[in-house]
Structure 1
Amino acid sequence: MARDAYIARTMSFNALVLAGSRGGADPVADYAGVSDKALIPIGGETMLAHVVAALREAGAARIAVSASGDAVKVHATALGAEVLEAAGGPSLSTRQGLDQLGAPLLVTTADHALLEPQWVRQFLDDVPPGADVAALLARRETIERDAAGTRRTYLRFADGEWSGCNLFHLATPAAGAAIDLWQTVERDRKRPWRIVRRLGAGMLLRYVTGRLSLAEALARLGAACGVRASVVEARDGLAAVDVDKPADLDFVRALRR
C-alpha cells in the first residue's frame, strides 16, 4: 500500500453533516410523518444517527451537524455531535463549517441514508495527492448494477454519465474558493450545461457535442477559481443514493429493514 494511501486511511479527520432545511414543508419528511428529514427512522435509527455513526466508525474525530430545526439540533447533540446553525443554503453552511472546523474537512448530508464507513475510507484513500477539493461520483452503470430501481440525476460527459454521491473532501483552505463558486452554481445543479457554460463557448461546445470529459470539466472549473479539483470514482453504486423524494425513502427502507 502506498504511504499516502496508508496515511489517509489511518488518520482521523473532521466531518460536517448538512442537515438544514431549505424552508417550507419537506415532502419526504411529510411522507414519513416527522418534522425534519434528518429524523426519518430507517432500520431502527434516524438517518442522521446512521450518518454520524458511519462517520465515527470511519475515523472522524470531530463531527458537526449544520441544522436549522430545533428537534434536529437536540438529536445531534444527543448523538455527541457539535451543532452549527445552518446558513442560507448548503454552500453557505459548508463555508461556515470550513471556517469553524478547518481543513481538511469531509462534507456529507443527513439524507445519505446508506452511508458506509468503508465508502468514506476508500474515498479519502483515493483523493489524488495535491488536490484542494475532491468529490465522489458514481458511473451510471455502477449505479444500475448496485442500485437498480433508483432514479438519479446524471451528468453526461464524454467519459460516461455520472451522478454525485454527496461526499466531498475539502483538503486545504484553498477549497474555500470552490465553495464560493458553488454558491454561484447551486441553483443550476440539475442543469449541468449552465455550469459548463461558465467555462466559455469552447468548453460548452465540447460538452454539447459529447467531447468534454468529467475530469476535464472539473479541472477547468477548479482552475477558474484557483483550486485543484478532482473526481474520485465510487466503487459501490449505492453511494449515489440519497433521500430526495418518497420513492428514495421506500428504496432505502427496503434495503435496511
Structure 2
Amino acid sequence: MTRKVLMITGAGRGIGAATARLAAARGYDLLLTWRGNEAAAQASAATCEAAGAAVELVRADAADEVEMLAAFAALDARFGRIDGLVANAGITGPMCRLMDSSLADWDAVFRLNVLGLYLALREAAKRMSTARGGQGGAIVALSSRAAELGSPGEFIHYAASKGAVDSITIGFAKEVAAEGIRVNAVSPGLIDTEIHATAGAPDRVQRFGPMIPMGRGGTAEEVAETILFLLSDAASYITGARLPVGGGR
C-alpha cells in the first residue's frame, strides 16, 4: 500500500520531532520543516528514516510565504500528494508581564503562530480539497491551554496568539468539512520540552508540575499520540475540535 504523506512544520525538536518519530513508526512518509537548529532537524529526520519513512527535510520559516511555498513545492516534487498536516511551528516569545512586553514581541509571536498557521493551512487545503481535485485529508494545529488560561504574568502574548489558533481551527473546519478535510487542534498544557528554556524558564515544568491535577508535566510523546489519533481514521467524525492535553489543568 502507498504510505500516507504527512507534513510537519517545526519538526526539529519538541512536539514536532516526537510527532515525526511516531508518524514514521506508523507508516507515514514525511515532509519536515525546520528553522533554527539544523543538527536537531537532521537527527529527527535520520530517526524517521531508520523507522522506514521517506523523509524530505526543508529549511523554512513557517511565517515566510516564499519559504513556505518552496516547502510545498518540495512536497509536490518528492511525493506528489499530502494526506495530513501538523502545523506545529510556534514560539512563546519572552516571559514577561504584558506591560513589560514590546510591540516587537507581539509581532514576532503573532507572525509565526498565527500567520504561519494561515500559510500552512492555505497551501495544504488547496492540495487536499476534493473540490479542487484532491483526495481530502486531516489537519492538526497546535494550540495551547494558555488560550483559555490567559497565562498572566508570563505569556499573555502567546496565549492571545493561541486563542487565534482556536478561532481559525473552528472557522476553517466548517469551511472545508464538505471538501474532505478535517481540521482539529490539540491544546497542550505544561509539556516538558525545550520551549521553556528558550523562553527563559528552564525549570518551569519542575516548578509547576506538582500543581497540575495529575501531579506532573506532560511529555512531547503524549501530545504526539493525541495528534496521531486526530490524523487517523479513528477520528473520522471529529472536526473543529480543540482537544486539551493538559493533565486536568
Q: Is the TM value for this pair above 0.5?
A: no
TM range (shorter): 0.3 to 0.5
The structure whose RCO (Cα within 8 Å, separation 6+) is larger is 1
